[in-house]
Structure 1
Amino acid sequence: MTKGGKYVELSGGAELYVRDIGQGEPLVFIPGWTFTLEVFEKQIGHFAKTHRVIAIDPRSHGQSTVTAEGNEYITHAKDLQTVLQALEVHEPTLIGWSFGCLTIWEYVRQFGADSIKSCILVDMSPKALSVNEGDWTEGSLYDIAAAYTNYLCNSKGQRAFVENYARNVMVQRDLNEDELQWLIEQSLNTPYYIAANLFAAGMFSDYRKEARQVSEAVPTLAIVAEHWQDAAKGTLAHISPDVKVEVLGGHLMFWEHDKVFNAIIEEFLKG
């Protein structure tokens, strides 16, 4: 178990693996679809010098228990609440990446925003699918259906999907073989049939109301990738006009451009 690693028990006997390191105001990191807290390694080490940093492997991700139930964001939000209570975390800044943002918005839906100090949302639209031209989406309805049908039906397809996404969306440079394999292995900790369920749950979610609610309640920062910044800015200006927006890199900008990303977070936290 790495430094600060521990398990938090959930109802039903499942356990979530978390890192809990450093002292000070708490920052809680939540990874995206099928990925693990290890993607935040450059943030955990940096911010643990000045803050208490908690990073979570969601259920069926990483070192957490693989469960047959609860593999959707309603349960993930309840799991987050369990972690915060078990570790006695008060007034955290919640930092979600990709589908980790869905966990935050669902948390706000269930528990409100009164217990949150601030919120950082990394590269996720509150509504992933739309037929309205110009909306910030994860892709066309055709492309998303094809991804689900053609790739997420077995482990080989999941591997191919993550490889393609890593090469073309996550980063802005060529990945070496070790980096690519590490990213793929991150995802394959989650079985393909659970990955497919999480994918569908995320794609069919609609958190526009909660996105507005949290941005009106607490200071909120959205960091979006360069490749869809125009759509993202337009969507966020309509849905949650109070949110502060920064643009950086690709979908995995905090990993590829960690120094710039960390500086953006530091500046936001000062405010």
Structure 2
Amino acid sequence: MPRFDLGGCELYFEERGRGRPVVFLHGVWMSGRFFRRQLPYFSASYRTIALDLRAHGRSTEVPSGHTIATYARDLRVFLERLELEGAVLVGWSMGCMVIWDYVKQFGDGRLAAAVLIEQSPSDFRWPDWPLGAFDLPALAEAMARLQTDRDAFARDFISLMFKRPPGDADRQWIFDEITRVQESIAGSILFNQTLQDYRPLLGRLTVPSLVVVGRDEKLVPVAAGEYLARRLPDARLLVFEESGHCPFLEEPDRFNEEVHRFIQSLS
């Protein structure tokens, strides 16, 4: 199994194909396995990588470093050591935040483009931002449930991720991936990611961006995607009518074709 040594922490990743690097970054508590319908397709044209962030998926279960800023620093080391220049970063949910924090810390000079899937620039409902997923009571409740009833919390979260309920087999592997992450780690990164606010930093992502949202709004409102498309310097919005939080699983053929077309449009 390919692993990347950060020193005290190994990141698991899957890599296929040759050409321009396309790096998939998963959401909170998830893993690169969620992109299993993308790796075979994109590897026909690109050097395609699905990375498990620290303590997620099959990466080392380290107890520390569970902030978006640290995940972004991990990504920087990964890109540099694998010499991934001109990369297209494909972030889903929290993976978008990792991209934004990477650009905040290091700029976008190594990147060719970004694909931003189903993520608001902030998950917190600030006084001037009503589009977040959590206010303080909702965040406190989620943190408590993660510690006291994580399995039920995970099952409820899966139901929110899709426009139409997944089948039993899909529901089980998704549950297995989510519950790989220890409760203490799951709570730490949920709290940290929820209180991020990347609205003031969007102008720093100057490379072309493709913003992808699902029409079903159980987790992320379409208005958040519209906001990103307006505020990012070079962005366009795609709305997937038959999807919720996982367009790449719910409408994989269209997703793959649209993202491939976007990458091919890069100069």
The normalised TM-score by structure 2 is: 0.92
**In 2: Cα distance, 1:238 partner to 1:245 partner:** 9
* RMSD of Structure 2 on Structure 1 (CA): 1.7
**Equivalent residue number for residue 159 of structure 1:** 151
**In 1: Cα distance, 2:229 partner to 2:95 partner:** 21
**What SS class does the counterpart of residue 42 from structure 1 fall into?**
coil
Asked if the contact 1:135/1:232 (under 8 Å) is kept, the reply is: no
1:245 aligns with 2:234: no
**In 2: Cα distance, 1:241 partner to 1:86 partner:** 29
What is the percentage of aligned positions where both structures have the same residue?
31
C-alpha spacing 1:258/1:238, structure 2 compared with 1 (3 Å): closer
The answer to which structure has the higher helix fraction is 1
Match of 1:221 among 201, 207, 210: 210
**In 2: Cα distance, 1:256 partner to 1:94 partner:** 20
* Bigger mean CA deviation after superposition, 205-214 or 179-188: 205-214
**What SS class does the counterpart of residue 121 from structure 2 fall into?**
coil
1:177 aligns with 2:168: yes
Aligned residue identity for 1:153: Q
Aligned residue identity for 2:5: E
Q: How many correspondences in the alignment?
A: 260
**What SS class does the counterpart of residue 255 from structure 2 fall into?**
helix
**In 1: Cα distance, 2:222 partner to 2:171 partner:** 28
**Equivalent residue number for residue 20 of structure 1:** 15
Per-residue Cα deviation, 1:119-166 (whole angstroms, up to 9, x for no partner): 0111011111124477421244432332222x1114xx2222221121
**Equivalent residue number for residue 211 of structure 1:** 202
Tell me the CA shift for residue 110 of structure 1. Answer: 0.9
**In 2: Cα distance, 1:269 partner to 1:136 partner:** 29
The normalised TM-score by structure 1 is: 0.90
Tell me the CA shift for residue 54 of structure 1. Answer: 1.2
**What are the equivalent positions in structure 2 for 1:32-181 lying under 5 Å apart?**
32-132=27-127, 135-149=130-144, 151-154=145-148, 157-167=149-159, 169-181=160-172
**In 2: Cα distance, 1:161 partner to 1:211 partner:** 32
Per-residue Cα deviation, 1:213-244 (whole angstroms, up to 9, x for no partner): 21xx1001110121344422443255436421
Tell me the CA shift for residue 93 of structure 1. Answer: 0.3
Match of 1:263 among 239, 250, 257: 257
Asked if the contact 2:163/2:216 (under 8 Å) is kept, the reply is: no
**What SS class does the counterpart of residue 27 from structure 1 fall into?**
strand
Aligned residue identity for 1:42: R
**In 1: Cα distance, 2:263 partner to 2:226 partner:** 24
